[in-house]
Amino acid sequence: MYETFKAILVSRDADKKQSVAVTDLTEADLMEGEVTVAVEATTVNYKDGLAITGKAPVVRRWPLVPGIDFAGTVISSSNPDWRKGDKVILNGWGVGETHFGAYAGRARVKGEWLVPLPEGISAHDAMAVGTAGYTAMLCVMALERHGILPDRGPVVVTGAAGGVGSVAVSILSSLGYHVIASTGRNAESPYLINLGAAEVISRDELGQPAKPLAKERWAGGIDSVGSHTLANVLSMTSYGGAVAACGLAGGMDLPASVAPFILRGVSLLGIDSVMAPKAVRLEAWRRIGADLDLQKLASLSTTIGFDGIIDAAHDIVDGKIRGRVVVDM
């Protein structure tokens, strides 16, 4: 007899109406993969919120266990890279979209999708980082590769009170950058300053249709919003600067002109966390272990249990979540 465990299952009926339920599964219900992991911690990302609420077509297989990342312990493996007892992290690879994800007591995945839990970081801490924080680090690394270092000038972070933004502000400030945090929640200014922001500006400054070129305000940026916000960030980026784009909370469109690119030599750096090569993932998690202040990490995260996932998914889509949400399983 297989042991049962709780799971969240997203289903759709013949009329394509989505429903979400808590159910019991066994390992026999899991999808294919060489490694089975006891999920110890997960998180609620914006994408997870979209998957559970159905407000965007994140889920592409029905029924599905959502949840795009987890940390836990290997309980069985036929992959030579992993053995029982190994501590692992998973981010992306279609998990929680086309493959059963993190919102269950067990997950079975391909071994190549996993990376080791860094020394000194617990499963809980890893999910306080989660896909949002790992994506933030990918953005920081992209800016560094482009030469956007602290001595080049300020860096703006949009959606700064969200998951990606909160971790980005923390990492950038710890590396010595002058961070300008943009948020639509003015009450979060003390929180962002505590994370290391040097300035906090209202998202209203960036939310209107952008001029082809505006006054130069920053050397670079990390944008998780898209649409008019990204267009404005680009128009205000100084000569030779760069902006790392990783999200679409404000829309998938980009109503911008080519002026920043051809008149100021600005670069737009696309960041994908889902299919990033393993070498890049390993470097990102190494940097997270080295550059992210765990005390700040604790201050930007809240903890819930499994039973709070569905409510948190709705809250994150409605813009009611600050920072990161960790789910202790």
Q: How many other C-beta atoms can be found within 10 angstroms of the C-beta atom of residue 13? A: 9
pLDDT of the residue at 185 = 86
Mean of pLDDT values over 175-192: 95
Domains of the chain, first to last: 2-116+295-326 (3.90.180.10), 131-268 (3.40.50.720)
- Mean pLDDT calculated for residue range 153-177: 96
pLDDT at 2: 72
State yes or no: pLDDT of 20 exceeds 80.
yes
**Does 147 score more than 70 pLDDT?**
yes
Average pLDDT, the chain: 95
pLDDT at 1 over 70: no
pLDDT tens figures, 251-266: 999 999 999 999 999 9
**pLDDT tens digits, one per residue of 109-142:** 999 999 999 988 999 999 999 999 999 999 999 9
Which phi and psi (to 5°) does residue 80 adopt?
-65, -20
- Would you give the DSSP letter of residue 99? B
Q: Which two tokens stand for residue 118?
A: 């860094």
Number of CB atoms found within 10 A of residue 54's CB: 17
Residue spans of alpha helices (H) in the chain? 46-53, 123-145, 163-174, 189-195, 204-207, 227-235, 259-263, 278-291, 294-299, 309-317
The pLDDT assigned to 186 comes to: 86
The pTM is what? 0.90
Mean pLDDT, residues 91-119 taken together? 96
User: How is 169-227 classified by DSSP, letter by letter?
Assistant: HHHHHHTT--EEEEES-GGGHHHHHHHT-SEEEETHHHHSPPPSS----EEEEEESS-H
